[in-house]
Amino acid sequence: MQIRRPLAAVILSCSVLAIAGCETAPPPPAPRPAAFTPLGVTAPYLAGDVIGGHRTRAAKMHAAKIHPLSPYAAYSYMANLGAELRQQTAGIGLDVLNVGNSIVIRVPATFTFDAGSATVKPQTDATLLEIARTVKTRDQTFVDVLAHTDTTGTPEGNLALSQKRAAAVATYLANHGVAKARIASHGLGESVPLYNPDETDDQKAANRRIEIRLVPYVG
């Protein structure tokens, strides 16, 4: 049986090995903003249907030969998934939130993207990789990737940037073992901020976020 270590230990081990065996080592993940707390969990976009609609997404899951959960099994399945994700991400600065019957992994954009960029930063690879390792084994869930921006710039530009960022994270997950049939992505731009207005750097940083929503695939 494979024994997993908490993500904090994985990152520490990778950092030591990188320093010992490589010419340059990536910097450690930046600490999350102090204001990055479980906010906005009652927002309608988190409680709504999966991206693209349940019927369409379920047809893709069925075609990929992924079997649905029974309604009776879904609760314990999601509870175990949430506990595993919290253990794997302990001490890193992510939020793993229960929202209705789904789980939302809320990731500060400082862990994934540079300002104005939709390219996943190499030094945050370990964070998303550990998420992917857990999510791919729990394949009886839909995976929605949602991306947000702060209010800097134009609404149109922010929407386009968030769509690119959501697609980049979705592609990352797919490239690291999460079945494509499970994944959909959507950018929301600046339309659903945690802080409105976002006047401080901490508030802007909290608004710039990626959310990976896991919804049980129930037959």
CATH number at residue 117: 3.30.1330.60
Non-local (6+) Cβ contacts of 43 within 8 A are 192
Cα–Cα distances (Å) from 151 to 36, 46, 87, 158, 161, in that order, read 17, 20, 33, 8, 12
Does 2 reside within a domain? Answer: no
Mean pLDDT of 136-162: 95
Does 191 reside within a domain? Answer: yes
> By residue range, what is the domain housing residue 106?
7-216
The pLDDT-based confidence of 39 (bands split at 50, 70, 90) is low
Does 188 reside within a domain? Answer: yes
Q: Which residue has the higher pLDDT, 69 or 6?
A: 69
> In what side-by-side order are the strands of the sheet with 141-147?
95-99, 102-108, 209-216, 141-147, 183-187
Cα–Cα distance for residue pair 99/119, rounded to 1 Å: 28
Mean pLDDT of 183-193: 95
Cα–Cα distance for residue pair 89/170, rounded to 1 Å: 19
Mean pLDDT of 127-132: 89
Q: What is the domain count for the chain? A: 1
Non-local (6+) Cβ contacts of 72 within 8 A are none
Does 155 reside within a domain? Answer: yes
Question: Is residue 176 within 8 Å of residue 129, measured between CB atoms?
Answer: yes
Cα–Cα distance for residue pair 113/167, rounded to 1 Å: 13
The pLDDT-based confidence of 114 (bands split at 50, 70, 90) is confident
Q: Which of 5-19, 75-89, 128-142 has the lowest mean pLDDT?
A: 5-19
Does 33 reside within a domain? Answer: yes
Residue 4 has pLDDT above 60, yes or no: no
Beta bridge partners of residue 101, listed in sequence order: none
Q: pTM here?
A: 0.82
Does 198 reside within a domain? Answer: yes
Average pLDDT value over all residues in the chain: 83
